[in-house]
Structure formats: C-alpha cells, structure tokens
Chain A
Amino acid sequence: MSDLFLADPIVVDPEPRPHGRLSPGAWARANLFDSRVNSVITVIAGLIAGFLTWAAIAWLISIDFTIIRDTLRIFMIGQFPDDELWRLWAAGMVLMTAIGLAAGATARNAHDVAISQGLAPDPSGPLLLARRFWAILAVLILFASFARTIQPMVGVLAAIALVFLVRQLAWAAPAAIRTRAMYVTALLVVASMLVVAGTSRLGGLCIGLVVFVWALNETGRRDFSGSSGKVLRWLITVSAAVLAGVIVAMIGFEGFGWKEWGGIHVNLFTAVVGIALGMPLGILLALGRQSKLPVVRTASVLYIEFVRGVPLISLLLFSKLLLPLFLPITMERPTSLTLAIIVIMGFSAAYIAEIVRGGLQAVAKGQTEAAQALGLSPGAMQRLIILPQALRAVIPAMVGQFIALFKDTTLLTTVAVLEFLDAAAIANNQPQFLGKGLAPVTYLFVAVGFWAFAFTMSKESRRLERRLGVGTR
C-alpha cells in the first residue's frame, strides 16, 4: 500500500570500504574499533546481534516442524482435490517456461543493445543467476523438503531446471524469434491459467486478445499503405483473433472452479491478475487526470483520491458485503475470490494511475512539442511518443507496486479466501495441533515464504532501476 514512485528516493549503497586485502585484525580496527564511540557501539551491537542469533538458533533447534509437514498441502494448494492436481503441475511448468523465455529474450536483447552501443554488457550465466535468485531457490527447495512424498521434490527441481533450460534456449534463439518472445510469453501465461480454470468464452477472449495484438504488430511491420491497405490490415488482425478465440472455445475443456483454490498460488495469482487487469484502467485514469477536459479530470481525481484514501481492507469488506448488491437480481452471487479480484483490480488501478502520472510528468515537455510540430494527432502523440517513454520510466515503480500488492493479498483472509496466511490459521486449528503453541512456527513459515519472493523481486527492481538509469538522468 505504498506510493512507491514518490515514497522511495533513489538509494545508493554506501561506498564499500576497502577490506579485501586487510588482515582480520587491521580490518576490525578500521571498521569496528576506529574510535572510542565506535568501540562502544560495536560492543552494544555485538551483544544485541549475539543475543538475537542465539535466541533464534535456540528456538529453531527446539521447534518441531511436524505441523508444516502434515499441513504443507493446505499451505501450497488449499483444498485442491488429488485427481485434479495435474492441472496445477502443468500450469506451473507452463508458467516456468514463460518466465524462462521472457528472461532469456530480454537479457539477450539488452546484451545485444549494450554491445551495439559499445558498452560493457551485464555479465550473465547460470552461477550468477543462482546468486541473484538465491532466496527464491532456497525457499522452493525448503518447501519441497517438507513434503512427505518424493513427487513434489522432483517436480520443484524439474521446474527450476526447466526455467534455466528455457532461458538458455531463448538466449541462443535467433533474433526473429526473440522479438516475438513477449507474445509467446503472454500466450503461455494465459494458457497456464486456462489449464486450471478451464477454457471458456473468457479463455477464448484472452487468447484472442493476445493474438490480436500480435497480428496487429506483425501486419504493421509490412507496409500496408493507403486506405485499402489499412482495411486489409484490420481485417487480417481481427479475423486472426476471432479464429484463435473460436479454436480455443471449441477445444474447450472443463476447468476447475475458483471455490476450491487456496494456498500460496492464490496469492501469486491474485497479485498477477490484479496488476494485469488494473494496468489498462490505471493508464486511462492517469491520462484522465492529466486531461484538459474538466468532467474527465474531476471524475479521475475523485476516483483516484477516494481509493487511495481508504484502506484495502475496507474495500474488501465492501466486496464481501456490498458488491453483490449491485449485481442484477437474477444473477447468482459470485465466489468471494471473484468479488475480491474485481475490487483489487480497481484498487491497483488507482495506485498504477499515480505511478503512471509520475512517468507522464517525467517525460520532457520538448517531446510533446516535437510531436505537435510533426503534426501528430493527440491520440497518436500519446500512443507513439509519450506513453512509451512514460511507461519505460515507471517499470521499477510498477514492480514495487506488484510487490506491495503481493503483500496485500494476505488481506484476502478477511473475506474467507483460503490464502497463504489463512492456511496457517487452519493448520493451527487442526485437532492434533490445537493448543500446543505452534502458531509461531506456522507464521514463521508464512513469513519466510513471503520474504523470499518480495526480497528477490525488490532486489531485481533495484537492478532494473540501475540498468534503465531512472533518476540518474
């Protein structure tokens, strides 16, 4: 719940002190005991650090992780039935492929751009990747190690291997494939969700949309000049999208309802869907807030300030108690997750709008004037000149918003969605563990799970920030 674009000034790590070549004694004198005050601070900090480490180790040794072993299933997947479990594995593997593909393609593109500009490319390799993502890797392996059967361990290891493999493949792929990797990634993400949720009209629509954007871009590459060419271009893209949608709808296979979803995959799913659906609305709101038309501007400002002024929990209470009342009387009450996702979409849209507004204001005024001098229409100016620059500048802030939203998904527990934190409460209420004071163990497990994802993502976003050079221009 934070406005990251404003909240976090660019932080530069303090200059590393030269301690590589010092002997341990000299290093300690230089860094710990170089003055009387520092010696006192060192002793006090050492006592605190020593006490905390000792207490943590003593506690970790004393506790028994049986409760995690017995209830790991609830933490990971909630009450997903056994027969349908293949869906989650398949979805996970497809998602891993998508991540690997996107990572490999973008890394290689950045590498090529750096080389063409005569700059030193960022070093990359499997070992370096493992160092960058150590937290997530460690937690995934930790989670798998709590499993009672061999299958989840093999699955997790296979997923990790798959990411690395696909990444290397995408890295080595020819440029023509790499430039289209983003569309394939989007298709794979949609597909991985459809494996669980089943294909329906919605699935056809999603795939159709992705194909539409892809085909529009592809036909745009060729020169369809003249008004008849324009008609042809739109005809091709629309028919390709409809065809893809129809094919998906025809293949259509039964999915699995949201009611039984649970565990950490609900948190990840909600965060991804909330950001993805909130993005278009957020960009529109940001443009509306910058608009010169008083009606549009007032409406945008009212919406954004209202949503940012109230806590997410009150919006979730709204989704539980009030949102169903606004649906047509003939309609059945949707599941709580659906209602919550609708509200989260509107919530993240308001925050994204503020982030995008920051980006819009960061675009130099000369860009607008140049676009006007070229005679571009207002729409074309936004689409071709301003938005690309603004959105590029706010990518790190957007990642920050994603992390914040990921952390906020814990609030779903207040509207009776079985997410990661709620799973801990359920585990503590199992009859065999009730009243044994095991709550700290389960909450520690939850905390470590969230920490690994959020920590890695925030580190990556800072890396991205440095690479994009935001704030240093």
Chain B
Amino acid sequence: MIIALLWIVAIGLGLTLVYVAGRLCYDTWSAVKQRRYDKSVGQLAPPWRDTKVLAIVAQLAFAVVVGLAFWYLWGNFRDRTDAIGLDLSFDFLDQPAGITIADNPLTAADTVGEAITAGFLNTIRIIIVGIPLAVLLGTLVGIARLSNNWLLRKLATGYVEFFRNIPPLVVIVFIWSGVYLTAFPRSSESWRPLNWFVFNNAKFAFPSIEGLDGFVTFRWIVLAAVIAALAVGYWRTQVFVKTGAAHHRVLWGLGTLLTIGTVAYFALDGPVKFSRPTLDEAGRIYEGGIRMQMPYAAMVTALVLYTATHISEIVRGSIQAVDKGQVEASEALALSGFQRYRFVILPQAMRIAFPPLINQFLNFSKNSSLALLIGFGEITSIINNLAGQSQPAPQLIFILMLLYLVISLVLSLLGNLINRKLQIVGR
C-alpha cells in the first residue's frame, strides 16, 4: 500500500513538472511567433521591453535558481548519507520492526510496514470518533452562547474563552495526567457501575455485542434491514412531498429495522448476546466488553474539547449571519424555539459554516499527531519510535508526511463534496 502511494506521488509530481515545462515551451513558442509577426510588420520591440520575453526569462531564472538550490542540498544529503552508510531504498518496510503498540496484537517480529499501517489505523480511529463529537459539542455550545438564558450563556462563554486560548498540547497533557490519571482509581479498585462498565486509570471498558452461531448471517440481515429502513424512509419522504401527509420517516424506518431484526434474531435462535467486561483478582480485565486505552480516551476528549471551541465560534458567527428576516418570519409562523433552530436557522447557518468547518476538520486531523507526547500509538509516535530503532529516518519522515497529506486531501475532498451538496444551486 505504501509503495503504491509512493508511485502515485511520483507520477503526480512528474505530471506537474511535465505540465509546467509544457506551458513554458508553449509560451516560448507563442512569444517567438509574435516577435516574428512584429518583425514582419516592422514593429519589433527590443527584447528587454517585451513583457512576454521578460516573463519567460524570469521563469527560467526562477527555475534555474530553485533547481540549483535543490541540487546543492541533494549533493550535501548524498555526502552525509554516504558518510554514515545510509541505505535510501524502501526495503526496510519488510524488515522486522522491533516495536510493540499498546492494545494492538502487533508483535516485535512484525514488519515495519505493518507497524506503520497499525499506527495509521489508530490515527484514523481518533479522527473518525473525534470529528463528529467535536461538531456536536461545538454546535451545542455555539447555540448556547446565543441563548437568552444568562447563566447558560456565561457558562458557554467561559468554556470557550478558557479552552480556546490554551495550546492543544497543554490541554491533552492536562486532561491525561491531571484528570484521567488522578481522578480515576487504580485498576485494583476499579469503579464498576451496574457491573456493566469498568473505569480505572489504565483503561475504560464498556459492554459490547458478541457473536455466537449464525452471527455472519445475522450481520448480513441487519445490513439489509438498514438498507430497507433507508428505502422506507425515502418512500415516506416522497409520500410527504406528493400528498403533504405527515411522513414520520424516522418512526417508519426504525420500525422496519426493529421488525426485521427481531424476526431474524428469533429465527436464528439468538445469534448475539451482550458481553460485559469481567475482572480477575488483580483488577485486570480479562474477557468481554469493548476496551478503550486511557491515552486514546484522553486524546479524543482533549481534542474534542479544544476543537469544539473553534467550531462553536464558527457556528455562532454563522447563526448570526442568517438573515434576520428569516428568524422574524419563523416567529410569525409561531414556531417553537426548537423548531425555529431545526427547520429555519440551522440549515441556513450550516451552509455558511461548512467551508470554515472543513478547515477545523483538517486542524483536528493534524492535531491528532500530538498524541506523541502521551504515548498513544498513532502514526507520528510510531514513526518516532521506528526512527529510534535505527530504521532509516529520511524514508520514515517522507512516509509520515505523505500519509498526512493523504488524510488532508481525503478530508478536504469529502468536505468539498458535502459543501457542494449543501450550497443552493441557482443563479
């Protein structure tokens, strides 16, 4: 996978170079043609007064200077790497990595490529869980800051002004060592609310679903049921659009899902059961449930708390940017406060808020690299560890930057696609 990425980047850069060189050649050719024509009509300007010639000369000079700088740096680089005998190939990806990651089945014998992939997946886990939470919290706080309830407004303002002005790294370290490590008990004295959850300062555990016989079939049936529910919801929307009858699409959809699920559950004779985390004598969780490492929990909490402040400022600004007439019209229609936000203000505010929100998503994904300091095994700390295991640093850093560029690119592509859906088509 990593090698394929490298090839894509190489091809992309090559195409860009070809494009630029092609443009330059075309410009030169058209300038020459123009000057021939000018000469034939006897209006040839001296070359130092011809903007076309000047532009070509300036670009050539720029390219030569940049190329020389790169050539000089590359020479230095080769001298240094030759002196320490560094291998610049990507063969090391198949060598054993010699590192382990907490809460990951990876062993020291697994290859560097597998370690990097595991780290990349951990980064994705932070991003996928964190961004929706941050948007949710940020929207709520943004609305709260505009509430006419004095106490709620001040509470939200205090939260935003406090967390916005602290470096994210300090938030992370403070949440980790100040809140999670000290406020939760040691594992031998774990809190076990309802006997279903386990909280201690090493990990959290929640109940989960465990598959028994026929689980694979059941999973497919549930997937089909979800699709059926969506279809039913779409059908109800169509009915609503055509006849104006109440759609109740959420009720209909959930009903479909639950009916199919229940029937399948009994037909397959109970293919799933709840599993709860169980502790041994020393307080270690030895089976059942879904577990969450403490650094991961701290990381997600801190990043959500930090990013939500920025999102709330964006949401607040966009709500205020919604035309005042819209709010007055919804008041004239006697919509309740909730209806006003749900049907009139938020849909329009989201349209304004989305482009800057994409920026915050990118910031969130980049800030996930800060986990390096609290030892969560995401991509940056894995790369740092690997470099400490005397794996070649140049290639590692190159791969690290490449993977982040891929994340940024995918996020902004997705964001722009959604944004295009949100904007009003017209004019």
Q: Given A299-B66, A437-B182, A317 and B397 touching (CB < 8 A)?
A: yes
Interface residues of A in 318-350 (CB under 8 A from B): 318, 321-322, 324-329
Q: Does A382 contact B (CB under 8 A)?
A: no
**Cβ–Cβ contact B318 & A407, under 8 A:** no
Interface residues of B in 95-130 (CB under 8 A from A): none
Task: Enumerate chain A residues within 8 angstroms of B288, measured Cβ to Cβ.
Answer: none
Q: Does A364 contact B (CB under 8 A)?
A: no
Binding site for B on A (CB under 8 A): 1-3, 6-12, 14, 17, 31-32, 34, 37-38, 41-42, 45-46, 48-49, 292-296, 298-299, 302, 306, 308-314, 317-318, 321-322, 324-329, 403, 407-411, 413-414, 421, 424, 437, 439-440, 443-444, 446-447, 450-451, 454-455, 458
Q: Does B404 contact A (CB under 8 A)?
A: yes
**Cβ–Cβ contact A309 & B404, under 8 A:** yes
**Cβ–Cβ contact B146 & A14, under 8 A:** yes
Cα distance, A9 to B316, chains bound together (Å): 9
Please pick, from A11, A41, A321, the residue contacting B387 in the complex, using a CB distance under 8 A.
A321
Interface residues of B in 138-183 (CB under 8 A from A): 145-153, 155, 161-162, 164-171, 173-174, 177-179, 181-182
Task: Enumerate chain A residues within 8 angstroms of B173, measured Cβ to Cβ.
Answer: 421, 424, 443
Cα distance, A325 to B20, chains bound together (Å): 29
Cα distance, A362 to B286, chains bound together (Å): 61
Minimal beta-carbon separation of B51 from chain A (angstroms): 9
**Cβ–Cβ contact A34 & B148, under 8 A:** yes
Stretch binding the partner chain, chosen from B225-233, B269-277, B340-348, B359-367: B359-367
Q: Does B405 contact A (CB under 8 A)?
A: yes
Q: Does B310 contact A (CB under 8 A)?
A: yes
Closest partner residue, chain A, to B402 (CB atom): A310
Task: Enumerate chain A residues within 8 angstroms of B37, measured Cβ to Cβ.
Answer: none
Q: Given A326-B73, A326-B77, A3 and B359 touching (CB < 8 A)?
A: yes
Task: Enumerate chain B residues within 8 angstroms of A407, measured Cβ to Cβ.
Answer: 165-168
C-beta contact mask, B12-40 vs A, less than 8 Å → 1, else 0?
A: 00001001100110010000000000000
Cα distance, A466 to B306, chains bound together (Å): 26
Q: Does B80 contact A (CB under 8 A)?
A: yes
Q: Given A31-B149, A314-B401, A421 and B169 touching (CB < 8 A)?
A: yes
Please pick, from A49, A314, A440, the residue contacting B155 in the complex, using a CB distance under 8 A.
A49
Q: Given A2-B363, A6-B355, A41-B147, A294 and B313 touching (CB < 8 A)?
A: no
Binding site for A on B (CB under 8 A): 16, 19-20, 23-24, 27, 55, 58-59, 62-63, 66, 73, 76-77, 79-81, 83, 145-153, 155, 161-162, 164-171, 173-174, 177-179, 181-182, 310, 313-314, 316-318, 320-321, 337, 352-353, 355-356, 359-360, 363, 366-367, 369-370, 372-373, 380, 383-384, 387, 393-394, 396-397, 400-401, 404-405, 408-409
Q: Is the interface of B mostly helix, strand, loop or mixed?
A: helix
**Cβ–Cβ contact A454 & B317, under 8 A:** no
Closest partner residue, chain A, to B181 (CB atom): A439
**Cβ–Cβ contact B150 & A31, under 8 A:** yes
Closest partner residue, chain A, to B406 (CB atom): A309
**Cβ–Cβ contact A421 & B167, under 8 A:** yes
**Cβ–Cβ contact B397 & A314, under 8 A:** yes
Task: Enumerate chain A residues within 8 angstroms of B321, measured Cβ to Cβ.
Answer: 9
Closest partner residue, chain A, to B161 (CB atom): A455
**Cβ–Cβ contact A310 & B76, under 8 A:** no
**Cβ–Cβ contact B16 & A2, under 8 A:** no
Closest partner residue, chain A, to B318 (CB atom): A9
Q: Given A2-B363, A329-B76, A32 and B149 touching (CB < 8 A)?
A: yes
A-B contact pairs, 28 of them (CB 8 A): A6-B356, A7-B310, A9-B317, A9-B318, A12-B320, A14-B145, A17-B150, A31-B150, A32-B150, A42-B149, A46-B151, A296-B62, A309-B404, A309-B408, A310-B405, A312-B366, A313-B369, A313-B370, A314-B369, A317-B400, A322-B393, A322-B397, A325-B76, A325-B394, A407-B167, A440-B177, A447-B166, A458-B164
Task: Enumerate chain A residues within 8 angstroms of B150, measured Cβ to Cβ.
Answer: 17, 31-32
**Cβ–Cβ contact B359 & A411, under 8 A:** no
Please pick, from A2, A298, A309, A409, the residue contacting B409 in the complex, using a CB distance under 8 A.
A309
**Cβ–Cβ contact B314 & A7, under 8 A:** yes
**Cβ–Cβ contact A302 & B174, under 8 A:** no
The 6 closest A-B pairs by CB, nearest first: A9-B317, A440-B178, A454-B165, A407-B167, A311-B366, A321-B393
**Cβ–Cβ contact A45 & B151, under 8 A:** yes
**Cβ–Cβ contact B59 & A41, under 8 A:** no
Cα distance, A38 to B152, chains bound together (Å): 9
**Cβ–Cβ contact B81 & A411, under 8 A:** no
Q: Can you name 11 extra interface pairs (CB under 8 A) apart from A309-B405, A455-B165? A: A2-B360, A11-B313, A292-B55, A295-B59, A298-B19, A302-B16, A310-B405, A322-B397, A443-B173, A458-B164, A458-B165
Minimal beta-carbon separation of A131 from chain B (angstroms): 16
**Cβ–Cβ contact B16 & A410, under 8 A:** no
